[in-house]
Structure 1
Amino acid sequence: MSFGPSSTRSSLLLALLFSPAVLADDLFLDSEALPQILTATRLKQSPAEVPGSMTVLDSELINASGARDISELLRLVPGMMVGAISGNQAAVNYHGTNATQARRMQVLIDGRSVYRAGLATVDWSDIPVAMEDVERIEVFRGPNTVSYGANALMAVVNIITRNPADSHGTRVKISRGQRGINDYYASQGSGWNGGNLRLSLSGQQDDGFDEDRTGADYRDSRRLDRVSLSVSHTLSEDQSLDWQINAKDGTNQRPYTYRPVFYGITAAGNNSDVVAKDYAGSVRWNLDVNPDHSLYVQGSAQHWDRQQTWRACDAEVSFSPQLTELWKLNPNYTELLARNMNRFTGPGAPPGTPAEMALANQVLDQWRNGASRTVCGDIDQSIRESRYDLELQDTLSLSDSLRLVSGMNYRYDRAESETYFNGTLDDTTWRTFGQLEWRASEHWLLQGGAMFEDTRLVGSSLTPRFAVNYLINPRHGLRAVYSEAIRSPGMFENNVNWSYQVSGLRPYAYGQSSARYFVKTRGPGDLDQERMRSRELGYNGYFADLGLALDVKLFYDEITGMISEPLRNNQFIASNANSARFRGTETQADWRLSAADRLRLTYAFVDAQASNPQDQQFTARNSGSAGWLRDWGRGWSSALFYYGDNALNGYRFERVDTRIAKRIPLGKAQLQLAGVVQQRLDHEPTTFVDNNYDDRRVMYLSAELEF
């Protein structure tokens, strides 16, 4: 698959879309049911009616891909930039922005957000759901603050798990392969009069990347275990109750990146691994008042626990009270002094204000009198985050042509870390939202909505969306959309109080076994929300006779007030000073050539410009995927996928995945054997220079038994 000029492709696609011969064959529709989309507006809609661009990854596509992680599946979404910070840390963002800080997407599991407000991130490797439990993934490609609040700035990923009623029986699956791949899955589903449940246990393990830029072993393997319980109850003809419990425990290795500040000190450790524990529970009560009126109440609780400790060495002067005071006065001056202590020992303090030079001379005296000696201690960078969420949603059909969805949401977030926040920080958010859908005529569909949101730490906002859909017929529609969206700064960005209390010091520093490191970072506390304005023109159609689903999107997005500074404990000064603009086109085609063959193609051309160059590095100008799924009969099936982008953080990515599977009947049971081979076509690192494999090919096998 090669990438050529976008204008040529657009012209060919538009010619196909509006060819009278093609559309004429589809004017008289058969009785085939239209697929339903829920993520876009919280109303059930056909793809042609959605006020925006949608990608749906169904169970057939998920299984055929052979993907082991949600992030890998998102390579099938046009415009989605998928990279890796390290082997166990995926970086995912729609259209781009900073490669290491993918902060601008909302990610949901059955409507429950897993976006961590404390550090403004999504832990893709630690999402507590097994791939085998996922029924489908709906991706709204564009801003959707209107439906899901702040952080749905650029896209929404909704992971929908299998209904317990569709999960009866026993499934056992194991996968083994190169690069230390060692996965397992087991589930048991059963039902009773008025209820169903699914209990699943799963785990993953792999070795990550092989070597860094120097050829040294790259410490980035992972191990995790998960348990999930999903239960549904039918309380009466008009009421039902659904609840879930999820837990995850694992270890993510981290490369040891600490470098001593003071000259002549040698780093001490090689282990800064993270022990990651996640717990979540949710319950949802559904009420169908009548065929035209329904509502639900959903509550959830989540807890993220990241325990990270390591041992480091630096000079004793790192804990000097005078050096700490100097840092508060002028971090730049202090860093100049700290990194050049030997240079200034003779002539005295570098030029500065009288107060700065007085403190600097005291520090230099301490250095000359023995504070240059090495001391080592334990650093704790753990963080615990909790969230409690309560939501009420009401869906009402006012008439045959008018539907309304409205609701309220309350959320409480709490982050606890002695390192990041010097204790505990919390926040509360109130939301109210509404969306109206009006069928003005057989062909015209008008939609409008807004969400009002108030966050204690940041303030309030109102975000609207307006859309006009022209339905050529129920399967073909043109759309024009204008929307505004926001992203609230995370607790870390706005309110960080970052410093290290180092314990177990040997030898003692200034007579103490525990002391605070001199570097301290404070957040500004007055950051505003990032704001986005988005314009979109598009087409969505389904050619029933051809089995072809097609979507084309032209977009122009602007983000202002961007917070682009990297999260690091060294003169981190967050601001709303940056901006970015994204414009381009996206296309996706899903073509069922026959009962045995399915072809799927995606392409995105994204032209990005940003005031901060880092916000352009994670945008590939050309990217796409191609997939061919084939049922050969007699239990044999295959899938072939290509993924490519021309430059992600400066590195090209091209890979071909092949999966071959055989289903074998065993009486009432079925055994499926499958093999996956992933072959890189390029010879470049993955996203960052330290992400390298010894072999460009990896293979893994799986065996799954159902009974």
Structure 2
Amino acid sequence: MYLGPPPRSSLLLMLLCSLPALADDLFLDGQPLPQVLTATRLKQSAAAVPGSMTVIDSELIKASGARDISELLRLVPGMMVGYTTGNQASVNYHGTSASDARRMQVLIDGRSVYRAGLATVDWSDIPVAMEDIERIEVFRGPNTVSYGANALMAVVNILTRSPANSQGSRMKVTRGERGINDFYASQGVGWETGDLRLSLSGQQDDGFDSNAVGADRRDGRRLNRFSLAVSQTLNAQQSLDWQLNVKEGTNQRPYTYTPIFDGITEGSNNSDVTAKDYAGSLRWNFDFNPDHSLYIQGSAQQWDRRQIWKACDAKVSFSPQLTQLWQLNPNYAERLARNMEAYSQGSAPPGSAAEQALANQVLDQWKHQGGKDPVCGDIDQSTRESRYDLELQDTLSLSDSLRLLSGFNYRYDRADSDTYFNGTLDDTTWRLFGQLEWRASEHWLLQGGAMYEDTHLSGHSLTPRVAVNYLINPRHGLRAVYSEAVRSPDMFENNVNWSYRVTNLSSPAYGQDSGQYFVVTRGPGNLDKELMRSRELGYNGFFADLGLNVDVKLFYDEITDMISSPLRNNQYIASNANSSHFTGAESQLDWRVSNADRLRLTYAYVDASSSNPLDKAQTARNSGSAGWLREWGQGWSSAVFYYGDDALNQYRFQRVDLRVAKRIAVARTNVELAGVLQQRLDNQPTTWADNNYDHRHVLYFSAELDF
């Protein structure tokens, strides 16, 4: 295993020298504890959480030099970060398919950005700037109990800075190799009863340099974002928070269409996507008293993806008889189409009488009716997805030892696509959820929760979670957790009606200027939910005298009724026939050695087994990270991070990132100049053979002004 162990000898020596301090720290509680929110929706200390948490705070976000949220998640043990192209990250907790990321819920301030129509999270298109993020809380494990289906394996909650903490003006520019060209500007203002933050930001880069055969890799991106956040106090008990986010940009796509029929080589050189996202939310907070609070939140989102590209194929692609043959027997029709020239020299391939009769008509079109002539036209693969969400949550302390959280959620999803759904498809979801926390004694904490969910397209489910935490003291806890979670089949998997209509044909095909491609795929419509059962044993401890936080986790997770790839137009296999198991251990250590130094280590060992080999393609058996943050004085600071895994989709990944920064104070203005160097230590592609850089390093610089 290439991933070297942490410096255990030096760490052990320092711990042994500090045994008296450790003993005192274990049984004394002298300071407030940091709290997290994402695990149960209740504010809890890390030792009391019914599961494993990772918090990436603002200091880590800045020190990492990361330009994307997906890159930050390399700091989370067990998180597998890969790329399908330079502008499309594929992020999975513990793995599954390398090309799809369907089993993790992603939230911005509690609002889901998981797209239900095509079951994806557009990491590079998330409409929030890195500079606006306060912290990222990651619940490492299933959490359907708190967030519903799709929180199958983990939850990533991106929490933005409050407008009250964003006062003043801030500007930042970043330039560097690989076409990196980013900017950020924000203005925060406050008044007697409220605060506002307005920010504008943009990103641009060229993506990967070359594909597996050395040709240019067309996967650059350009995007601009607008964000407005307002907090308004109504009275001593009530407040309003509302947000508005807009994003527009272009993601390049390599042209990957391969004509079915031999000899057809013409076509477009790109299939780029123009993306526009809109999101708005309004939240009313009501604090009845210190023991009782309630909020109501409504949100609306829309994702527009415009993608029109030109394709060329043989005229026979639009043959009504070939379409009938596909509907009768797709495998027979594809075999005929792939070998048309060979079969045209003789007779149709063996099959039923109906199959052979249709095949002979298609062969006659091929030979005598210009069926092999190339025809080109436009394909509109655009999609639009919309979501409307309403949620009510009530939090009540019934006594000093008993807390109850309850609520309901209503969500409406709609997907519009002529290619994928032959029009419009919609879905409605109702949820009821609850979480009960009982402090049975000074040391024992019992927690239980459940989510009932009913989805129009895939039925209902009830998922529970039970946990026992033994608190040695409020800063140190042992936990045992059992939870169940589900993932609803998305619209694409279950209800796809996939076909390509080609318009503006270069020459008429069977008397028409547009035509329907003969391959038509429909989803089964009766897929069941995936089910996950998870068992976890863990420890979380905060040694205040040392500034040391430690979390260790042992886990055994199993997913049944699993829906696996491939889900391609000419090979669509969607069923609940597969399963996967994940067994292993994770650890994370965050140590503030002094006021100047901070060390951070993570490691994950994941042993995956799957009935479908594709479902463990993005599972690295060994992965981890190491970081050292240092304040040198006189405004100088540095951070160095190592990221590594032994195999994602069979390709190793090792990289070291170095950031050096200088802060300068001029009157009331603060200036920070920083440089980031990322150096790959291996010589392999990133996740896929087509993802290659000409140089194994990249260098970029930033200048930030705060006044």
C-alpha distance in 1 between matches for 2:483 and 2:250: 40
Shift of 1:24: 1.3
Shift of 1:666: 1.1
C-alpha distance in 2 between matches for 1:189 and 1:163: 10
Equivalence map 1:295-444=2 (5 Å): 295-369=294-368, 370-444=370-444
C-alpha distance in 2 between matches for 1:450 and 1:20: 41
The DSSP-based 3-state class of the residue aligned with 1:165 is: helix
Residue 44 of structure 1 aligns with an amino acid whose one-letter code is K
> Are 2:204 and 1:205 equivalent residues in the alignment?
yes
Provide the residue aligned with 2:154 in structure 1: 155
Cα deviations by residue, 1:462-498 (Å, 9 ceiling, x for unpaired): 0000000000001000000000000001100000000
Structure 1 stretch 526-535 or stretch 31-40: which is displaced more?
A: 31-40
Residue 451 of structure 2 aligns with an amino acid whose one-letter code is M
> Are 2:603 and 1:587 equivalent residues in the alignment?
no
Contact persistence 2:97–2:615 (CA under 8 A): yes
Equivalence map 1:231-246=2 (5 Å): 231-246=230-245
| Structure 2 runs not aligned, ≥5 long | none
> Are 2:37 and 1:41 equivalent residues in the alignment?
no
Shift of 1:61: 0.4
Contact persistence 2:625–2:641 (CA under 8 A): yes
C-alpha distance in 1 between matches for 2:610 and 2:15: 34
Provide the residue aligned with 1:97 in structure 2: 96
C-alpha distance in 2 between matches for 1:531 and 1:456: 18
Contact persistence 2:51–2:479 (CA under 8 A): yes
Structure 1 runs (4+) deviating above 2 angstroms are 1-6, 19-23, 27-32
Equivalence map 1:526-675=2 (5 Å): 526-675=526-675
Shift of 1:267: 3.5
Provide the residue aligned with 2:171 in structure 1: 172
Residue 655 of structure 1 aligns with an amino acid whose one-letter code is R
Contact persistence 2:565–2:614 (CA under 8 A): no
Shift of 1:16: 7.6
Provide the residue aligned with 1:475 in structure 2: 475
Shift of 1:69: 0.2
C-alpha distance in 1 between matches for 2:84 and 2:342: 36
Identity %: 77
Shift of 1:567: 3.0
The DSSP-based 3-state class of the residue aligned with 1:447 is: strand
Contact persistence 2:27–2:472 (CA under 8 A): no
C-alpha distance in 1 between matches for 2:531 and 2:603: 27
The DSSP-based 3-state class of the residue aligned with 2:556 is: strand
C-alpha distance in 1 between matches for 2:5 and 2:121: 34
Residue 312 of structure 2 aligns with an amino acid whose one-letter code is C
> Are 2:228 and 1:229 equivalent residues in the alignment?
yes
Equivalence map 1:48-197=2 (5 Å): 48-197=47-196
The DSSP-based 3-state class of the residue aligned with 1:27 is: helix
The DSSP-based 3-state class of the residue aligned with 1:367 is: helix
C-alpha distance in 1 between matches for 2:276 and 2:626: 36
Residue 312 of structure 1 aligns with an amino acid whose one-letter code is A
Contact persistence 2:318–2:516 (CA under 8 A): yes
Shift of 1:268: 1.1
Contact persistence 1:258–1:267 (CA under 8 A): no
C-alpha spacing 1:408/1:402, structure 2 compared with 1 (3 Å): same
The DSSP-based 3-state class of the residue aligned with 2:365 is: helix
Shift of 1:20: 7.6
Shift of 1:565: 1.7
C-alpha distance in 2 between matches for 1:463 and 1:267: 52
Contact persistence 1:262–1:338 (CA under 8 A): yes
C-alpha distance in 1 between matches for 2:35 and 2:571: 49
The DSSP-based 3-state class of the residue aligned with 1:265 is: coil
> Are 2:660 and 1:677 equivalent residues in the alignment?
no
Contact persistence 2:246–2:276 (CA under 8 A): yes
Shift of 1:94: 0.1
Residue 195 of structure 1 aligns with an amino acid whose one-letter code is G
Contact persistence 1:145–1:151 (CA under 8 A): yes
Shift of 1:573: 2.4
C-alpha distance in 2 between matches for 1:265 and 1:417: 27
Contact persistence 2:106–2:113 (CA under 8 A): yes
Cα deviations by residue, 1:532-551 (Å, 9 ceiling, x for unpaired): 00000000000011110000
C-alpha distance in 2 between matches for 1:36 and 1:340: 64
Shift of 1:508: 1.1
Cα deviations by residue, 1:358-385 (Å, 9 ceiling, x for unpaired): 1101101111111110000001100000
> Are 2:495 and 1:495 equivalent residues in the alignment?
yes
The DSSP-based 3-state class of the residue aligned with 1:62 is: helix
The DSSP-based 3-state class of the residue aligned with 2:333 is: helix
Shift of 1:25: 2.4
C-alpha distance in 1 between matches for 2:98 and 2:109: 27
Contact persistence 1:246–1:281 (CA under 8 A): yes
Contact persistence 1:16–1:22 (CA under 8 A): no
C-alpha spacing 1:20/1:701, structure 2 compared with 1 (3 Å): closer
Cα deviations by residue, 1:107-137 (Å, 9 ceiling, x for unpaired): 0000000000000110001000000000000
Provide the residue aligned with 2:508 in structure 1: 508
Count residues with an aligned counterpart.
703
Contact persistence 1:101–1:566 (CA under 8 A): no
C-alpha distance in 1 between matches for 2:603 and 2:266: 46
Shift of 1:568: 1.6
C-alpha distance in 2 between matches for 1:555 and 1:357: 55
C-alpha distance in 1 between matches for 2:256 and 2:224: 27
Contact persistence 1:529–1:561 (CA under 8 A): yes
Contact persistence 2:303–2:384 (CA under 8 A): yes
C-alpha distance in 2 between matches for 1:551 and 1:2: 23
Contact persistence 1:68–1:131 (CA under 8 A): yes
C-alpha distance in 2 between matches for 1:29 and 1:183: 48
The DSSP-based 3-state class of the residue aligned with 2:571 is: coil
Residue 382 of structure 2 aligns with an amino acid whose one-letter code is S
Shift of 1:347: 1.8
Contact persistence 2:29–2:473 (CA under 8 A): no
Shift of 1:348: 1.3
C-alpha spacing 1:292/1:315, structure 2 compared with 1 (3 Å): same
Shift of 1:4: 6.5
| Structure 1 runs not aligned, ≥5 long | none
The DSSP-based 3-state class of the residue aligned with 1:500 is: strand
Residue 433 of structure 1 aligns with an amino acid whose one-letter code is F
Cα deviations by residue, 1:661-704 (Å, 9 ceiling, x for unpaired): 00000100110000000000000000000000000010000000
Residue 612 of structure 2 aligns with an amino acid whose one-letter code is N
The DSSP-based 3-state class of the residue aligned with 1:116 is: coil
Cα deviations by residue, 1:216-269 (Å, 9 ceiling, x for unpaired): 000000000000000000000000000000000000000100000001111311
Shift of 1:193: 1.1
Residue 407 of structure 2 aligns with an amino acid whose one-letter code is G
Contact persistence 2:242–2:283 (CA under 8 A): yes
C-alpha distance in 2 between matches for 1:259 and 1:67: 36
Contact persistence 1:239–1:287 (CA under 8 A): yes
Shift of 1:22: 6.4
TM-score by length of 2: 0.98
Provide the residue aligned with 1:518 in structure 2: 518
Cα deviations by residue, 1:518-576 (Å, 9 ceiling, x for unpaired): 00000000000000000000000000111100000000000001111233211312101
Residue 619 of structure 2 aligns with an amino acid whose one-letter code is T
C-alpha spacing 1:118/1:16, structure 2 compared with 1 (3 Å): farther
Shift of 1:2: 5.0
Structure 1 stretch 34-43 or stretch 263-272: which is displaced more?
A: 263-272
